[in-house]
Amino acid sequence: MQNQPPAEIRILDDNLVNQIAAGEVVERPSSLLKELLENSLDAGATEIRVHIDRGGIKRVSVSDNGCGIPLSQIPLAVSRHATSKLNSADDLFSLTTMGFRGEALPSIAAVSRLSLKTRVVQEDLGHEYRSHGGTPSGEIRPMAHAIGTTVEVEDLFFNTPARRKFLRTEQTEFNHCDAIVRRIALGNPGVAIDFMRDGKTVFQVSRAQNVAIMTQRLIKICGHPFTTQSMYIDHEVDAYALEGWIGLPTFSRSQRDLQYFFVNGRPVIDHLVSHAVKRAYSDVLYHGRHPAFVLFLKLDSKLVDVNVHPSKNEVRFRESRAVYDFIFRILNRAVAGISPEEGEVALPLPDTAGRAQARPSGISGGTQQRIRMPDPDQTSAGGLTASIWDMGLNQSRSRDREDEAVDMPPLGYAIAQIKGVYILAENRDGLIMVDMHAAHERITYEALKQQLDARDSMPAQPLLVPIRIAMSFSEVRCLESHIDELGRLGFELEVFAQDQVVIRTVPELLKNSDIEAMIRDTASDLLEHGGSDRPRNEINEVLSSIACHGAIRANRKLEIPEMDALLRQIESVERSGQCNHGRPTWMSITMADLDKWFMRGR
């Protein structure tokens, strides 16, 4: 090899350059579909029609009513490094368009048979440009076309068979295309989209000019179950605005397949945001489950850099910690405030064929009654309550049900107890069923957390032998900068050297925990997210265990007033729809549901 003459350096021909660039821009049909859709949006389109054949491998067509491309600029539109979306380098740091690279069309054309038809309002006729593997097929010719642009891409990778082999089945490629169209449709409610596959409609959504129409759009894109089991939020604080829908804790998913997040209309994947959402749903999701959400964050374009990844699906916030805190506070408050009117779980109902199907049922009417929870006796280690089964259960009163029917609370009034486990209650809409242990467990748990939060600091346990932990320099600096916060939690931490810390006290509730592992994980969180909930989460796990052991046990006989008191507490406590382990605490079934079960009126 050393005896061989050096290879000659030469300029690559344009076709080869375009094929290399296509490797960055076009990975599969969904990649080119994303580029074409973003071009349509940047052209100001309000109507977009998408047609794909054989998963997009055979054909992808995107037609819009945007501004179109003037005849004189069509050659530039299919040339590399040409774009109408940038004027100077400063524009890179305040992007308001979906894309800008100026390589999409030439890169797509290099590995397909491409047809571009377009017309602008100033021209009487449209024009068509065709290419075959990046080489123009004849002259640009005039043709009849509506104002806007249609791009058809056929036989993707026909001239690069090695890359075509990496494509998956038609169904898999369609699934990727479908995900792209749904994200675009969610992020751009002002655009009507008609999506077709092999000549059949996948979905059609009209322009959404208000929340009510957007809700109907959500049904078609995200499905009816999510739309009916989610709550709408809309908050604006200083430079940030957050709007969208978050799924109720009872509508959790086994995968992260229903999580959409948009920054200024751009769909992005952001680990910072994912962590903030996960933290907001802590204490209410069953183990291994994931929340569902469609969220829109709006902020000044100068406060976010979208040019950190070629596909523009990642962003970098200038004030990442402020964004994190804003999203967490809004969502945490929303989840904690879910009331029985919103957080119900419905029993499955039979369809016309007799099969069971799930349908949410609402609880309407009534004024939520809030009963102040009594202060329990301080009987456990650290002054926290270990056994408080009777928290307020005897603080109910007899009442005339007919007189109070008009002001019936959301969960109604108790009528019976089943096997010492479940409470049956009647409300204005039908029947309520309560798992009394799960419900009381949540009530007790929230009370314990409130008691702990009322303290200036948590009870600490001195260690006979301090724990010395070797860490990286950056981890030590992070822990040192949060030493006061850790101190309030009960950790007395001292920096021993540039790469070591010493733990002298720990929270009393965590004296039997793996302190070293917890501190290491906390330091890792601080480095990645700027904050950590690990110590508090460990403390909450202990409180959860105390609450579980202190809650009402099965086979405990309760009188009607005691059951009613429990119902009122469920209505007044945050996150009361789920127990500490994420299981539902109560379910509902309306009179209409009961009529279906018993086939009344048929």
Quote the CA–CA distance of 170 and 504 in Å, as a whole number: 61
Count of C-beta atoms within a 10 Å radius of residue 134:
22
Give residue-wise pLDDT tens across range 497-556: 889 999 999 998 888 889 999 999 999 888 877 778 888 888 888 888 888 888 888 788
Percentage, residues of the chain above pLDDT 90: 48
Confidence of residue 17 (pLDDT cuts 50, 70, 90): low
In this structure, of 99-103, 364-368, 421-425, 434-438, the range with the lowest mean pLDDT score is: 364-368
Q: Please check whether residue 432 is in contact with residue 588, taking contact to mean a CB–CB distance below 8 angstroms.
A: yes
Give me the pLDDT at residue 299, please. Answer: 93
Percentage, residues of the chain above pLDDT 70: 82
Residue 146 has pLDDT above 60, yes or no: yes
Higher pLDDT, 345 or 287: 287
Quote the CA–CA distance of 366 and 571 in Å, as a whole number: 11
Give me the pLDDT at residue 404, please. Answer: 55
Domains and CATH numbers, the chain: 14-205 (3.30.565.10), 223-336 (3.30.230.10), 348-452+554-597 (3.30.1540.20), 459-547 (3.30.1370.100)
Quote the CA–CA distance of 488 and 458 in Å, as a whole number: 6
Give me the pLDDT at residue 364, please. Answer: 33
Phi and psi for 253 in degrees, rounded to 5? -125, 155
Give me the pLDDT at residue 358, please. Answer: 40
Give residue-wise pLDDT tens across range 55-81: 999 999 999 999 999 999 999 888 876
Give me the pLDDT at residue 30, please. Answer: 95
Residue 141 has pLDDT above 70, yes or no: yes
Q: Which residue matches tokens 């309030």? A: 488
pTM (two decimals): 0.77
Give me the pLDDT at residue 90, please. Answer: 57
Q: Which of 175, 171, 194 is nearest to 51 (CA)?
A: 194
Higher pLDDT, 125 or 530: 125
Give me the pLDDT at residue 543, please. Answer: 87
The residue-averaged pLDDT of 396-409 equals 60
Confidence of residue 29 (pLDDT cuts 50, 70, 90): very high
141 forms beta bridges with 128
Q: What is the mean pLDDT of the chain?
A: 83
Give residue-wise pLDDT tens across range 350-399: 554 444 444 333 333 333 323 233 333 333 444 554 433 444 444 444 65
Residue 20 has pLDDT above 80, yes or no: no
Q: Please check whether residue 279 is in contact with residue 533, taking contact to mean a CB–CB distance below 8 angstroms.
A: yes
DSSP of 504-572: EEEEGGGTTS-HHHHHHHHHHHHHHHS---HHHHHHHHHHHHHHHHHSPPTT----HHHHHHHHHHHHH
The residue-averaged pLDDT of 555-582 equals 91
In this structure, of 1-15, 53-67, 146-160, 423-437, the range with the lowest mean pLDDT score is: 1-15
Q: Which residue matches tokens 């008191």? A: 565
The residue-averaged pLDDT of 227-247 equals 93
Give me the pLDDT at residue 190, please. Answer: 94
Residue 1 has pLDDT above 80, yes or no: no
Give me the pLDDT at residue 98, please. Answer: 63
433 forms beta bridges with 424, 587
Residue 345 has pLDDT above 80, yes or no: no
What contacts 602, CB < 8 A, 6 or more positions away? Answer: none
Confidence of residue 338 (pLDDT cuts 50, 70, 90): confident
Give residue-wise pLDDT tens across range 34-46: 999 999 998 999 9
